[in-house]
């Protein structure tokens, strides 16, 4: 799915702002014309007169008339986006990138591994897969955050855990009062992970350090590089494979990714 005209901005109304954690908000956007996207594709979201930046929608690709974008406050633009109020007009361009290979999962298992705000792009994948659970063998979701206050979409965890053929587990890095769940970084949920390994694809999104150690843990567990898809986040400019700012070897992450099969990139420097 590619934008008819990637330069053409689509106006949208900010209809709701959800406070997820002290530093993360979800903006619910209503584009004037629906913006179909595949899970894992990204959009450029902007405030008129301020600027734009890449974000991966966290909502269901099955509902293109409503686009959620979950944003971690890290600098000037994300700070301004956090200050936006319902009713304001914003600008979307896209979608860009390839998106997750959802169709390759027919008859297989999916293992979804998220760290921190990395659960946002994966939520679109989770929704896409929930829409085709009749074709999937099983979906396991492993999610880690530093502490309870930083767990994303906490209101949905029980719902996901209760869906047949879905296994959801969350962990926090250190023990905290009131937390009875698993403690330890997300890789600790992968030791001896209960999935049909030869018949499973793994999707990982999170900070660079988490991507690195999760990949090593998955390889130790016996997964092959071609089973592992990493959401690669690099500074991007054109979003269309033209400016050369986002490459790993011959691949442009904006065009060939941002989710890349590990086997394709593993031998290039600075992957993580
Ligand atoms: C394909 C793609 C999808 C993304 N999806 C999301 C998402 O769903 N939610 C989300 O919160 N963020 C996402 N990001 C990151 C987001 O684009 C940056 O956080 C944003 O551009 C920061 O802008 P700023 O002006 O607030 O910060 P700046 O002042 O520009 O930067 C502040 C700090 O943020 C970090 N940063 C800046 N740009 C990036 C970047 N492109 N990638 C990673 N870190 C960056 C750097 O550490 C920098 O020092 C995505 C990035 C890409 C490339
Ligand atoms: S952002 Fe320009 S080539 Fe990828």
pLDDT tens-digit profile, the chain (272 residues): 776 677 789 999 999 999 999 999 999 999 999 899 999 999 999 999 999 999 999 999 999 899 999 999 999 999 999 999 999 999 999 999 999 999 999 999 999 999 999 999 999 999 999 999 999 999 999 999 999 999 999 999 999 999 999 999 999 999 999 999 999 999 999 999 999 999 999 999 999 999 999 999 999 999 999 999 999 988 888 888 999 899 999 999 999 999 999 999 999 988 88
The CATH number given to 10-95 is 2.40.30.10
Pairing of strands 200-205, 228-231: parallel
Q: What is the rounded distance in angstroms from the CA atom of residue 184 to the CA atom of residue 174?
A: 6
CATH architecture label of 102-231:
3-Layer(aba) Sandwich (3.40)
Tell me the pTM.
Answer: 0.94
Instruction: Output helix, strand, coil percentages for the chain, rounded to the nearest 5.
Output: 25, 30, 45
Atom of ligand 2 nearest to the CA of 244: 3
Q: What is the rounded distance in angstroms from the CA atom of residue 240 to the CA atom of residue 80?
A: 25
Q: Residue 90 has which token pair?
A: 């914003």
Q: What is the rounded distance in angstroms from the CA atom of residue 98 to the CA atom of residue 179?
A: 38
Q: What is the rounded distance in angstroms from the CA atom of residue 223 to the CA atom of residue 109?
A: 13
Q: Is the CB of 246 under 6 A from ligand 2?
A: yes
Are 10-95 and 102-231 equal in CATH topology? no
The residue nearest atom 50 of ligand 1, judged by CA position, is 55
Q: Where are the domains of the chain?
A: 10-95, 102-231
Name the residue of 42, 53, 236 whose CB sits within 8 Å of the most ligand 2 atoms, as the mutation to test its pocket.
236
What single-letter DSSP state applies at residue 244? -
Nearest bound ligand to CA 254?
2
The residue nearest atom 3 of ligand 2, judged by CA position, is 241
């Amino acid at each position: 799915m590619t934008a008819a005209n990637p330069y053409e901005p689509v106006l949208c109304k900010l209809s709701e702002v959800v406070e997820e954690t002290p530093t993360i908000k979800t903006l619910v956007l209503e584009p004037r014309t629906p913006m179909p996207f595949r899970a894992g594709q990204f959009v450029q979201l902007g405030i008129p007169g301020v600027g734009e930046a890449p974000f991966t929608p966290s909502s269901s690709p099955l509902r293109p008339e409503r686009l959620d974008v979950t944003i971690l406050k890290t600098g000037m633009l994300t700070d301004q986006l956090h200050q936006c109020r319902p009713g304001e007009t914003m600008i979307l361009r896209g979608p860009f990138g390839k998106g997750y290979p959802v169709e390759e999962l027919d008859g297989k298992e999916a293992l979804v591994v998220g760290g921190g705000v990395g659960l946002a792009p994966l939520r679109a994948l989770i929704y896409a897969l929930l829409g085709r659970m009749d074709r999937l063998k099983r979906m396991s979701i492993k999610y880690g955050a530093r502490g309870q206050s930083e767990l994303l979409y906490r209101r949905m965890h029980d719902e996901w855990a209760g869906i047949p053929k879905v296994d959801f587990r969350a962990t926090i890095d250190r023990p905290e009062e009131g937390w009875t769940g698993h403690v330890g970084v997300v890789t600790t949920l992968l030791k001896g992970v209960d999935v049909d390994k030869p018949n499973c694809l793994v999707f990982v999104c999170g900070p660079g350090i988490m991507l690195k150690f999760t990949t090593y843990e998955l390889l130790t567990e016996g997964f092959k590089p071609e089973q592992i898809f990493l959401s690669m986040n690099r500074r991007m400019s054109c979003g269309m494979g033209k400016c050369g700012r986002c490459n790993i070897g011959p691949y442009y992450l904006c065009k060939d990714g941002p989710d890349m099969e590990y086997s394709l990139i593993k031998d290039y420097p600075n992957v993580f």
